[in-house]
Amino acid sequence: MSAKLEQLKAILAEVADLKNAAALLGWDQQTYMPEGGAEARGYQLGTLEKIAHEKFVSPEVGQLLADLKQEFAGADPDSDEVRLIKVTQHDYDLEARVPSEFIAEFARVTTLAHPAWVEARAKSDFSIFRPHLERIVEMGKEFISFFPPADHPYDVLLDQFEPGMKTADVRAIFDALRPRQVELIRAIAAKPQVEDAFLRLTYDEQAQWDFGVEVVTRFGYDWKRGRQDKAPHPFTTNFSINDVRITTRFDPNNGASALFSTMHEAGHAMYEQGSHPAFERTPLAGGTSLAVHESQSRMWENLVGRSLPFWEYFYPKFQQRFASQLGNVDLRTFYKGINKVQPSFIRVEADEATYNLHIMLRLEIEIGVVEGKLPVKDLPEVWNEKMKEYLGIVPPNDALGVLQDVHWSGGMMGYFSTYALGNLISAQLMEKIRQDIPNLDDQFRQGKFDDLLAWLREKVHVHGRKFEPQELVERVTGSRITPEPYLRYLSAKYGDIYGL
């Protein structure tokens, strides 16, 4: 192997170690750290992030990349070596523009913002979180200023999570999607509503936990390389291909909430666990983008976990475990109940037909904030106005409205659209999967998911970050991201459930 490539990989491995150590501290903060540790944790994370940043954007790395691009100029453009150089150069060009002092301060600011968000949500009081969010927004604008002018300033934030995607691209996709989803929701609203009161009884937390573990174990989540804990807002994190952790949360009055959360996070985790082992401690490890990542979580949660064949296998087990709640509820009634379409306040609890409207609302708010047209102090009011506009309902308090998501406390503006894009990609992939595995539903009815996971491993997971998201989707499905497969999926599914 090239001596210079070995040199580069040695530096990248140390950078990965530092970032993974910071991620471990972040996981601890959201799961076990005592409340009083927030300020010290902010400094610890800031120090680690600063050291990792300075090591990565050093002149040595810049020179090695320049030399390696020449050395590998005639090599296979899809080889691991060429792709590693390309991805590292992309990351280097991005990070080299950002001062290390900014990285450290941003880590400290967001670390302090998280417990403030937790308290604000618990008390349903936006004023507790507001000064932290104002500082985060201010730093977000400062971050944008480090880059050349883009078509839209929001492009800079979006690119952090979805490389190559532009604000105009997302808006065009959403503009094509919105009227047809609204049309579907109106058609459903004209039909008799399905029953779901049985889901809102009291469900034992430990029993919910145990059933979720049973399901994702059968999916293929590797517990020797992972674990599950509780968190205020479910998330997945990893410190290695061989240490990928998930979290969930429980609602004792919603029998399926924790299960779908666990399935969702396991989808993320299995993607990370499926990266090629050779990519460990390099920028090629992990998912290629947040949208592709969400395609995996939403696929396992919804296209698999809310499907009738899945429940034909699992419902007898679930019904037996919760006999007092579900003993008199037949499979078809249960299946309709977990797929009930009804505008709701909480994004993570939203049904598939209304979910993307929650994302579109957040996108417009974030764009307004970035453009300077929407002050942070006005967010609760604007949020409620847009909820009424998009979904016809108004949150009764901040906890069910503007404070429901953890993302802004972590500085993740530019993230939300990836959820909706992930929905589209999941359906696009599933159409191709069904062509390649025609008996997929029969496998689900037997509780078998090996072929599905193996297909995803081969076509998506193993490539890590080698290919940009649009490139990967086109390689696998033959076309770039499009809403058509998702709309076909929704029409067929809800046409059956509601008799459209």
Tens of pLDDT, residues 393-403: 999 999 999 99
| pLDDT value, residue 221 | 98
Give me the percent of the chain exceeding a pLDDT of 90.
95
| pLDDT value, residue 298 | 95
Q: Which two tokens stand for residue 130?
A: 């507001």
Task: Label residue 233 by pLDDT band (50, 70, 90).
Answer: confident
Residue type, 29: Q
| pLDDT value, residue 164 | 84
Four-residue CA torsion sign, 350, 352, 353, 358: positive
| pLDDT value, residue 487 | 94
Q: From CA 184, how far away is CA 487, in angstroms rounded?
A: 9
Instruction: Compute φ and ψ for 228, nearest 5 degrees.
Output: -125, 140
Which residues have a catalytic role annotated? 265
∠ CA(12), CA(472), CA(358), 5° rounding?
95
Q: Which residues pair with 245 in a beta bridge?
A: 237
Q: What integer is the mean pLDDT of 457-481?
A: 95
| pLDDT value, residue 376 | 97
E strands along 93-135, which residues? none
| pLDDT value, residue 496 | 96
Q: Please name which of 208, 245, 209 lies closest in space to residue 225, comparing C-alpha atoms.
A: 245
| pLDDT value, residue 349 | 85
Residues 6+ apart with CB under 8 A from 383: 361, 365, 395, 401, 402
Tens of pLDDT, residues 103-150: 999 999 999 999 999 999 999 999 999 999 999 999 999 999 999 999
Orientation angle between helical segments 352-370 and 126-145, nearest 10 degrees: 70
Tens of pLDDT, residues 265-305: 999 999 999 999 999 999 999 999 999 999 999 999 999 99
Domains of the chain: 3-149 (1.20.58), 167-498 (1.10.1370.30)
